[in-house]
Structure 1
Amino acid sequence: MPNMTASITRFSASRPERLLAGILLAALLVLLPWGAQAETRMRSGEIVRGDTGYVLNADIELDLNPRLLDAVSRGISLYFTTELVIERPRWYWLNKAVVDRSLDYRLYYHAITRSYRLSVGSIHQSYDDLESAVRTMTRIRNWHVADFDVLEAGVSHEVAIRFRLDTSQLPKPFQVTAIGSSDWNVGTEWLRWTFLPGVPGFR
């Protein structure tokens, strides 16, 4: 009987440890699919003739991970940028970059108005929820990227576009944290295609 009592006592002492380990494992299993599903990618991109020049339309898929969601909710501004490069091939040398532009966003939470704000240059817009602000940022329409005379008609041009979080504009402590962290390394691969500008005056 004494030996049995000692055995029961040891089992009771280790039970909280096994319970804690089980809770941590369950939490990890819940969080892993969330992280695996988070993806940022260029879904589509095109350049078309507008009224005064060539404009770009693009759709981006962006899922903010828990780290970024927490940062925004605490009032930290997140800066995103869409980068566009258009090159004209040269048979005798490297391609010539004729367009190199960026579209910069600032996304943040305004505690006084309890709204999310999206800034593009001097233009500001407020949203009741974060999803609406992100949807606006990732649906680019009629972005003027070049005048008609910049892209030579009838000559194929190579287009490349990507979207990323600009960690260089985060507060200094966050910049240090972002180094080597996958939570802050948010961005797409370059989406590339060939574009043939039309003859001026025709769509």
Structure 2
Amino acid sequence: MTVSSTHCCKNLRPEAHAPRRRLALLLALVWLCGLLGLPAPARAQAPQDISEMALERTPEGLYLNASLHFALPELAEDALYKGIPMYFVTEAEVVRERWYWYDQPIAQAVRHLRLSYQPLTRRWRLNVSPVPFDKTGLGVVLGQNYDELADALAAMQRIARWKIAEPSAVAPDTVYDVQLRFRLDLTQLPRPFQIGALGRGGWSLTLARSQRISLEPAR
């Protein structure tokens, strides 16, 4: 009687092809994620903070200098290259400390930034305004073109002599707390982007720093 090994080979064949099937399934999932527009694997995150924060009191008012360090969220950068402008808000608040009661807000300054990319010219444009942007473009007080995204971001990350309080609002030999915040303003994005960005980490960008200072008399 002859014993055949044919049945044994048939039993082993599914196990031999299992790694290939798992690889095919993985590739199918990757393709499906790309089809649905899901983000690619996260890039290495650059440091995000505010450094070199300093204030200068002059007879004209209180001025703020600071350096921001951040990288654009991956999804925001992708949207920029598709011609969708991104909006940012920088806020500074001066609070007077009071040991006998709640701290007292005495001054606040806000400026809005709009970063856009023109695919035809391949140039970047940065606009700065003290009020939110509208469709008419009113309120834009500064506009600058850049050849590279890195140059536009460098301009956004540098705050130089920004007036955040009038001279009458602050007094010498008084302790103040200056709070600086910078964020990506999702509320000004087109409605579909607002819905898609809700709760997704690929759109998150928020920086904040608080510094306690005692002002010297103006020079």
Give the structure-2-normalised TM-score. 0.78
Structure 1: gaps of 5 or more residues: none
| Structure 1 residue 19 corresponds to structure 2 residue 37 | no
Q: Is the 8 A contact 1:41 1:187 kept in 2?
A: no
Q: Name the SS for the 2:68 alignment partner.
A: strand
For the pair shown, the structure with the greater C-alpha radius of gyration is: 2
Report the alpha carbon displacement of residue 22 of structure 1 after superposing the two structures with TM: 6.3
What is the SS of the residue equivalent to 1:113?
coil
Give structure 2 stretches of 5+ with no counterpart. Answer: 31-39, 130-139
Structure-2 separation of matches of 1:101 and 1:130: 26
Identity of aligned residues (%): 29
Match of 2:183 in 1: 164
Counterpart of 2:69?
61
Quickly say closer, same or farther: Cα 1:4–1:116, change in 2 above 3 A. Answer: farther
> Could you say which residue in structure 1 is the equivalent of 2:197?
178
User: In structure 2, how many angstroms separate the alpha carbons of the residues matched to 1:51 and 1:96?
Assistant: 22
Structure-1-length-normalised TM-score: 0.84
Match of 2:172 among 140, 150, 153: 153
CA separation in 2, counterparts of 1:50 and 1:7?
Answer: 86
For the aligned residue pairs, the C-alpha RMSD in angstroms reads 2.4
Count of residue pairs the alignment pairs up: 194
Corresponding letter in the other structure for 1:178: A
The separation in 2 between residues aligned to 1:20 and 1:116, in whole angstroms, is: 41
Q: In structure 1, which of residues 193, 198, 202 is the aligned counterpart of residue 211 of structure 2?
A: 193
- What is the aligned partner in structure 1 of residue 156 from structure 2? 137
**SS of the residue aligned with 2:170?**
coil
Aligned residue for 1:118? Answer: 126
Indicate which of 78, 101, 109 corresponds to 1:93: 101
